[in-house]
Amino acid sequence: MDTSIAISCIPIASSEVNNVYIDSVWFETPVQQYETQQIIHAVVINKSNKDIENGSLKLYINDAQVSLASFNVSAGKKKM
């Protein structure tokens, strides 16, 4: 070690946590059939300090948007 170099480490803590994410996604039925409408469920988790109102989820297949859904989830909660 070089004793002529002083190193000081200062921990930085965020005062606000903002993280909203999709925990899991699944089809309503176990078997998918070609050209039939499918229902997809998702669990959204809000790890932030603020409620999310009118959040949006978009489903893309092959770069084309095929579905849009909105959701509300309270701070620190999950929504199915």
**pLDDT-based confidence at residue 1 (cuts at 50, 70, 90):** low
Nearest Cα to Cα of residue 52 among 71, 65, 66:
71
Question: Is the pTM higher than 0.75?
Answer: no
The string of DSSP codes covering 30-52 is: SS--TTS---EEEEEEE-SSS-E
Q: Is the pLDDT of residue 73 over 70?
A: yes
Contact (Cβ atoms closer than 8 angstroms) between residue 30 and residue 41: no
Q: What is the pLDDT of residues 14-70, one digit of tens each?
A: 777 778 999 999 999 988 888 888 899 999 999 888 899 998 989 998 999 989 999
Sequence ranges of the domains in the chain: 20-79
